[in-house]
Structures are given as structure tokens and as C-alpha cells.
Structure 1
Amino acid sequence: MIKKVEKYIEQYHMIEKGDRIVLGVSGGADSISLFFVMLELSEKYNIDIVVVHVNHGIRGEEAKQDEEYVQRLCKERGVEFECVRVNVKELAKQQKLSEEEMGRKVRYEAFAKIAKIYNCNKLAVAHNQNDVSETVLLNLFRGSGLKGLVGIEPVRGNIIRPLLCVERSEIEKYLLERNIEYHNDATNFETNYTRNKIRLKVLPYVESEVNERASEHIAKSAGILSQASSFIDMEACKLYKRCVKEQDGVFEIRLESFETGHIILQREVVRKVLFAIAKKQKDIEMSHVDSVLELIKRGAGKRVDLPYHMEAIHYYNKVVLRKKTLVKKEKLEKEAVIPGSIRIPGTNMELSFELITVEEENRRELEKLYAVKKNDYTKWFDYDKIRNTVLARYRKTGDYFECNSNGNRKKLKDFFIDQKVPAEKRERILLLADGNHIIWAIGFRISEYYKVSSGTRRILKVKVDGGNEHEG
């Protein structure tokens, strides 16, 4: 087995001379065999080993015996030993995770902490070939994509898995031949955990009733899929760079570029975005990726809920993915001060109002000014046509304006749809309103009804400072 493992280490360039390696050792067969294998190879590679044992505080006296056994092994062989004790049950409750998830989390946190103290550059863990097949089946049953069917990678960042090439039976034979003791974790034989159900029930049945080498074949298939996945990932990264834009945790997928990619690459791009927002991969399944792709087909204005409080919204030329915001729409109704000015809460906008009386002697001058003004944020209105108190507010049901000189009305909602204004942005567009009749949708257009004409006697001049908040 040693030669097989050594060949595997060299195949994946796991170890280089002078490495300082943290070794996760629980006391079970896998980690104990890894301990002795690494000891045998330490002289050849000139590596230093630091053993880390994590006591999860779950199995009482058994856990204590495991800790003492691993400590004794290290002491007898002059290997640095560190033990980290945690109460996994209590932490799992606090963080609302399963004990299995919490246990994994605290182990890797402990490994990283000790690695920093001892200036270690790598971490070796004792996953074997059977773990690969269990992981593949677990991910398959959960609806994982291609990444999940790859199983467990031999090298991921600074984590190495030298025993991934050997089966559990080979490990047990290696220990038996050398008369090396190891401890069995009783929780590994309980079917409370999903992985244990696959290990203890599913795989044994498949190997006895379908193919006795099923576990080996699954692991080999995972290796082939890993190569395919690497190629797909490389191509997906190219598409990602072309079509994904991120700002402040909000991701935009620009559809014009996105839709040039093959469906497999599109799926990978969506997965990458979801992982980036959630900052984790667990519970993000292929069905969630497909729901985003289906959203694109359904047309603009649609949205879909996703795990970890994420959402995807389809706008006209893009899909936006992000964490949901719980910001309530601000209620705003500010009366215009004529003449005077008002500030709009929650924005940098200030509206100033001026009333101009049109006299015969100044009419021509005013007409010239009106003809040449080009400022989108300064507007003139026929003040005498306004029937109610002028309010600065956000939109309400029933809002409308007159869209032409014939007096035809258009609902504000329909106007925003025609202008392809995203639904969320509509809620934050400031309006000047005369009841439900919109005088001015600031940054967009005014109602024809209030336009200044030759018969206008009084002009309401409105100027907006900070109005470009509505742009973009």
C-alpha cells in the first residue's frame, strides 16, 4: 500500500521537500494509517509533521481514550501533538447546523489554527476511495451538478488526501499486517447520519447484489468526471468574465453575452454566482440553477426565491442575483413650498419652487428662455391648471398622466413598462403629483396637460438638485 500511496502523492504533486504538514488524526483506521504512512515517507521527503486531534465532546470516555491514544503514539515517535477540545453539540445548536456539519467545521478551523501556530503550509486528511463513492452517491441523491459527482479532490488548495487511491479494506489490511491498533468511533455505525446510511446500507447492498467492485468503479468514474469538470470550469470562467458584473454583493448576468454560451457553461456560471453570494455550496442544488435558467425564459419582471435568502430577478437585458433586502418602501408625501424649497428624506435631492407671473412686457423674454432650456432637471408648468396641493411622493395605484395634446391618459405603470424601467427602480422614482395626476416623473417626462402654452398666466418653475440619483 505504501508504494501505491507514494505513486499517488507524486502523481498529484502533493508533497515537496521541506513541507510542514498538519495531520488530522482522530484515532480511527484511516487517520492512523495516514499517520504511519506519512512517518515512513517523512525521511524521503524531508517533511515535518504536526498531529492535530479534535475532541468533539460527544462520546465521553471513548473520546478521551481516542485522544490519549493519539497523544501516546506521537510521544513515542517524537511527533508534535496538539489537541483541540470543543462542544460540538452546543455549537451546532447555536449555529443551527447538524452535528455532522458542525464537526467538520470545527475540525478544519482547528487545523487552520494549529497550522498557523506551527507555520505549516499543508494539511493532510485521511479520506479514502470509499469516501469518494459515498460522497458521489450522496451528492447524486441530493440533486448535485457535475461538481458534486466529482466526489473528493486529491488536492484542494493546501489540503492533500494521500489515501484517496486506496480502499478501506486495504487500509485495514495494512494495519493488521503491522499489528497497529486503531479505535472505532461508535457514531460511524449509527444510521442517524445520511452518509452513514450510504456507507452501512446502500453501498453494501449494491456491492452484494449488483457489482462487488461498485465502490471502486464509482471512484474511477468520479476521476474521469473530474477531468471533464476541470475543462468545463475553465470554459465557464471565460464566459463568467464576459457576462457577470458584481458590485457590493449584487451580481448581474448580462444576457446578450450569457446566451452565447452552451447550456452546460450557463449552468456553471449560475452556480458560481450562487456560491459567491451564499459563500457556501451546501444545499445549492441543480434545481436551483435550473430555476434561474427557467426565469430567463419566462420574461422580464419575474423573480424566483433561492436558498440562503437569495433571489434572482429578470430585468429586460439582465438577471440580477443577490441577497434579499428587507428594506420597506419609504412613505413620502412632502408638500411643495411655493415659493421655497424642500429636501427629500433618504436622498440628496432638493426641490426648489418659483412662481413666475407672465406679463405682456416679459412674455417674449420668457418664451425665449422656455425655447432654449435643455436641462432635464428644471421644468416649467402652467400653475393655474394644478387643482390640488403639489406633493412630492413615490408612486401609488391609479397614478396617470396625459401623454399627448389630445388629452389621452396613460397609466404611470404602463409608461414605466414601456420605458423598461425595472420594477424596483419604479418604487424609488420621485414624482410631483396633483392628486393621482402626475405632473412630472422626475428624470423621465411631464404630463402634456401642465405644459406651458401661449395662454399661461402663471408659471411654476421647479428645479431639482441631486436629480441624477434617478439615472442609471
Structure 2
Amino acid sequence: MFPPGSKVLCAVSGGADSMCLLHWLSRREDITVVAAHFDHQLRGEESGRDERFVRSWCEQHAIPFHLGTWDVRAEAGRRKMGIEETARALRYGFLSQLAVQLQADRIATAHNAGDNAETVLMHLLRGSALPGLTGIEPVRWKYVRPFLTTSREEIETYLAQHRVPHVEDSSNADDSYTRNRVRHQLVPLLEEMNPGFVRRLCAAIPRLRADEEYLGALAQDLFRLAQRQGEDLTIPAAAIAQAPPPVAARTVRLLLAEAAEGDWDCSAAHIGAVLSLCRGDSPSARVSLPHQLTALREYGDLVFTHSPHPEPVEEFVPREGDTPLPGTDWLVRLAVPPWPGLAIRSRQTGDEITLSNGHRRSLKKLFIDRKIPKALRDSFPVAADGDGVIFAAPFGPNPAHPRYRDIQIIETRERME
């Protein structure tokens, strides 16, 4: 976690865990330690007391000190988020930005074995699957957590042995916070029922993490089948449908994150909807997702797109000569003046043309044969009058119509390229 010569930014609240971590790191001669304290402005004068305590201790021990502060309660109101969630986001944002500014190699936080067990229990209470049962990650980006297997009792013993002071956060006694209720009520009950529960749970976490990492690696292999087609992300639907469910779900999670460019907090409902899309029979089904993202089937492919659906052709009467279709790559070429009933429009139920081999086929079946997605079909222009279809893009003229030589619908060069 701490390569020799590295600069370590230590997150210090002033509580027992973080003061133990700061002292423990400061005793190492092969690293440089910098302290970072974040004031959430939630506890009035007590918050100021914590800042002064940490600043003073750092000055006494010649440890550089950096302060971040934010009105968390007001920010939570602006973001319409919970206070705990907002506090965590702001705190980690401060630490990450400071680490970049100071060119720190590591950011150390003092999460201990009890914190790890509480996190797993909270995720379990929310109905989390395996990823939520792997606890707090020991290493992620620059963040390292060396105390995840260290008990609070061991930390308190260390503080006493080395005469390291600390302050108590009064909010830690407030059971209106979910984590505090888990810490003060649920964990003691589980320890009473099964002494050593926290220790055994923390021993199981690495095994659960190893299982999750293996399944994640299989999902990464499947994810590599995805390709970019312009702005869209495409993968064979059968590859996901045929994968074991744990691998398929993780692959969909990766696809959603990639399609949304990382701005994604997907739910089990979103993942389930996309999996159903892959396993279903409809070649043109779709699922609307947050962030203006759509997942859709285009026959054998699963496609994630931000593109709006093409608008249907708005019916109009073409003029003699060339008439471009606004906003499209189609052009209508009429060799004679327009006649009564002539119109350019989208396909309609019952539209059909005669092929060069003399067989009559409906436009619907021709679109299916060409595997043109259902979402795109109404954007293809059709020339028709009272006697039926004269010309249908992209299939060509209807030689059974008496005026099929009088009109063409041409795909422009830009579209063909």
C-alpha cells in the first residue's frame, strides 16, 4: 500500500481511528505524510474544536495540515440527497482533488474491521447481491485502507500504548443515522448470538471478493465483444442471453457504464430490463433508460444509443424536378408535373410492391428481410397515389404501377458513404 518514497495524504477527522492511522504512518521513515481534515459544518462549535485539535497535533509533530470545509446540510438540500451521502461525496471530492494538487501517491483512510462489517450488513439490509457483500475495497485508485482487518479494540490499545489523544464525535452516538444503529444495536446483538461474528465476517470478505473478481473478469471478457458504431455501443444479444446469469448481469452493468460514459448508477431493474431485451423474441424491442439512453434490439444486436428516433416522413406533394427531403439524405426526382393524389409519405399498413421477379411483397416483409430496425422504418420515404405504391425507399420502383417511370427516390452520396 505504501511504496518507499511515496507521499501519503492521510484523512484525519480527529477520532480514534484516524489519529491512530496518522501516528502509525508518521513513524515510518520511508514515506512522507500529509494530513487532510474536512469540516462538514454539521456540529457547530464541536466541528471547530476538531479542526483545532488536528491542526495543533500536526503542528506539534511537523506534519503538513490541509483543511477543506463545506456546508453539507445546505448542499444536501440543493442536491436533494441525504446528508450522509452528500457528506461522503464532498469529503471524497476534497481528498481526491487535494491528492492531485499535492501530487500525493496514496490517500489513506482509517476504516477498520468494524466499519467493514457494518458496510456489509448495511448492503445486506438493502438487498445487495455479491458486489455489495465484498465490503470496503482495500485499494482503489489512490485510496488505501490499511486497517480493514484491525479491530477497534486493537486501535484503542495502540492509542493508549503510544499516548496518542483523540476527540469524540458526538454524532457517532446519534442513532438516527443508519450506520450508528447498525453499530450500536445490530452488531452487538450478532456478537452476543455468535461471539466473534465481526472477526469471522471480515475473514469471509476476501473470499467473497475473490469470487466477485473472478465473475468480473468473465464479464470483462464478454464486454470486449462490444463495438462502437458511431456514437452507439453494439454487442451481439445472444452473447449476453447465453451467458450464465451472474456474468450476463455484470456485463450489462459494464455496458451501461460505458454507454453513459461513466455517469451511471444502474439499478437491478435497469439491468433486468436489458437482460430481458437480450433474451426476448422481439427483433425490435426497446427499453428507455435514464440519462436519455435507450437500449434496443436490432435483430441480433443489442444497441445502446443516445440518438433520437428518426422522425416519420411528413406527407407532402413533390414538385417537378428534384425535391430534397429536409433533414434526411433522400431526394425525390419527379420527371413530370405532380398529378392528383400523388404524395410522399411514410409506409402504411397494406403497402406492397411487385419485385423484379414478379412476386408481390408487403413493405413490412421487405423491411424484415433487410433486417431494418422497426424504429427506422417510418423514416424511409414512399411515393404513392390512389393506385398504390409507386416507389419505396430503399427497395426501388413498383413496376406494377403505371407511372413507376415518372418518379424516383434517390439516396444521396453522403448517406451512401
TM class by smaller structure: 0.7 to 0.9
Per-residue Cα deviation, 1:137-186 (whole angstroms, up to 9, x for no partner):
23333343332221112111221111112122322332234343322323
Counterpart of 1:132 in 2: which secondary structure?
A: helix
2:159 to 170, 175, 195: 175
Q: 1:466 maps to what in 2?
A: 412
Q: 1:424 maps to what in 2?
A: 375
Q: 2:216 maps to what in 1?
A: 233
1:32 to 19, 24, 28: 19
TM-score (norm 2): 0.87
Q: Return the offset for 1:61.
A: 1.0
The one-letter code of the counterpart of 2:63 is V
2:80 equivalent to 1:96: yes
Q: Conserved in 2, the CA contact under 8 Å of 1:399 and 1:437?
A: no
Q: Conserved in 2, the CA contact under 8 Å of 1:351 and 1:464?
A: yes
2:353 equivalent to 1:394: no
Q: Return the offset for 1:425.
A: 1.4
Q: Conserved in 1, the CA contact under 8 Å of 2:256 and 2:264?
A: no
Q: Return the offset for 1:38.
A: 0.7
Query: Which residues of 2 match residues 61-72 of structure 1 at below 5 A?
Result: 61-72=45-56
Q: Return the offset for 1:230.
A: 2.2
In structure 2, relative to structure 1, the CA distance for the partners of 1:405 and 1:114 (3 Å cut) is closer
The one-letter code of the counterpart of 2:352 is F
| Number of equivalent positions | 416
In structure 2, relative to structure 1, the CA distance for the partners of 1:420 and 1:328 (3 Å cut) is closer
In structure 2, relative to structure 1, the CA distance for the partners of 1:461 and 1:440 (3 Å cut) is closer
Q: Conserved in 2, the CA contact under 8 Å of 1:352 and 1:463?
A: yes
Q: 1:362 maps to what in 2?
A: none
Give the Cα separation in 1 of the matches to 2:290 and 2:115. 27
Q: 2:195 maps to what in 1?
A: 212
The one-letter code of the counterpart of 2:324 is R
Q: Return the offset for 1:442.
A: 1.2
Query: Which residues of 2 match residues 265-276 of structure 1 at below 5 A?
Result: 265-276=247-258
Q: Conserved in 2, the CA contact under 8 Å of 1:251 and 1:322?
A: yes
CA RMSD of aligned residues (A): 3.2
Q: 1:161 maps to what in 2?
A: 145
2:266 to 272, 284, 300: 284
Q: Return the offset for 1:34.
A: 0.9
The one-letter code of the counterpart of 1:220 is A
Q: Conserved in 2, the CA contact under 8 Å of 1:398 and 1:436?
A: no
| Structure 1: segments with no counterpart, 5+ residues | 1-13, 357-382
Per-residue Cα deviation, 1:250-295 (whole angstroms, up to 9, x for no partner):
3222134445543332222112112334456985344543332222
Give the Cα separation in 1 of the matches to 2:43 and 2:231. 41
Give the Cα separation in 2 of the matches to 1:271 and 1:229. 14
Give the Cα separation in 2 of the matches to 1:274 and 1:73. 46
Q: Conserved in 2, the CA contact under 8 Å of 1:299 and 1:314?
A: no
Q: 1:346 maps to what in 2?
A: 327
Q: 2:296 maps to what in 1?
A: 313
Q: Conserved in 2, the CA contact under 8 Å of 1:128 and 1:163?
A: yes
Give the Cα separation in 2 of the matches to 1:179 and 1:425. 73
2:336 equivalent to 1:355: yes
Q: Conserved in 1, the CA contact under 8 Å of 2:237 and 2:279?
A: no
The one-letter code of the counterpart of 1:118 is L
Q: Conserved in 2, the CA contact under 8 Å of 1:51 and 1:82?
A: yes
The one-letter code of the counterpart of 1:344 is L
In structure 2, relative to structure 1, the CA distance for the partners of 1:329 and 1:404 (3 Å cut) is closer
Give the number of the structure whose alpha-carbon radius of gyration is greater. 1
In structure 2, relative to structure 1, the CA distance for the partners of 1:440 and 1:328 (3 Å cut) is closer
The one-letter code of the counterpart of 1:332 is E
Give the Cα separation in 1 of the matches to 2:185 and 2:228. 45
Q: Conserved in 2, the CA contact under 8 Å of 1:335 and 1:389?
A: yes
2:229 equivalent to 1:251: no
Q: Conserved in 2, the CA contact under 8 Å of 1:244 and 1:253?
A: yes
Q: Conserved in 2, the CA contact under 8 Å of 1:24 and 1:124?
A: yes
In structure 2, relative to structure 1, the CA distance for the partners of 1:158 and 1:337 (3 Å cut) is same
In structure 2, relative to structure 1, the CA distance for the partners of 1:436 and 1:55 (3 Å cut) is farther
2:67 to 78, 83, 91: 83
2:302 equivalent to 1:302: no
Per-residue Cα deviation, 1:199-248 (whole angstroms, up to 9, x for no partner):
33332222223x1222222222210011222222223222211x212346
The one-letter code of the counterpart of 1:224 is R
| Structure 2: segments with no counterpart, 5+ residues | none
Per-residue Cα deviation, 1:180-201 (whole angstroms, up to 9, x for no partner):
3322323333344433333333
The one-letter code of the counterpart of 1:221 is A
Query: Which residues of 2 match residues 134-145 of structure 1 at below 5 A?
Result: 134-145=118-129
The one-letter code of the counterpart of 1:333 is E
Q: 1:151 maps to what in 2?
A: 135
TM-score (norm 1): 0.78
In structure 2, relative to structure 1, the CA distance for the partners of 1:96 and 1:441 (3 Å cut) is farther
Q: Return the offset for 1:64.
A: 0.9
In structure 2, relative to structure 1, the CA distance for the partners of 1:328 and 1:313 (3 Å cut) is closer
Q: Conserved in 1, the CA contact under 8 Å of 2:309 and 2:375?
A: no
Q: Conserved in 2, the CA contact under 8 Å of 1:429 and 1:470?
A: no
Q: Conserved in 2, the CA contact under 8 Å of 1:53 and 1:83?
A: yes
Give the Cα separation in 1 of the matches to 2:103 and 2:357. 80
Q: 1:10 maps to what in 2?
A: none
Identity %: 29
Query: Which residues of 2 match residues 349-388 of structure 1 at below 5 A?
Result: 349-355=330-336, 388=341
Per-residue Cα deviation, 1:368-407 (whole angstroms, up to 9, x for no partner):
xxxxxxxxxxxxxxx9xx751332x334x54622457999
Give the Cα separation in 2 of the matches to 1:249 and 1:55. 42
Q: 1:196 maps to what in 2?
A: 180
Q: 1:434 maps to what in 2?
A: 385
Counterpart of 2:334 in 1: which secondary structure?
A: strand
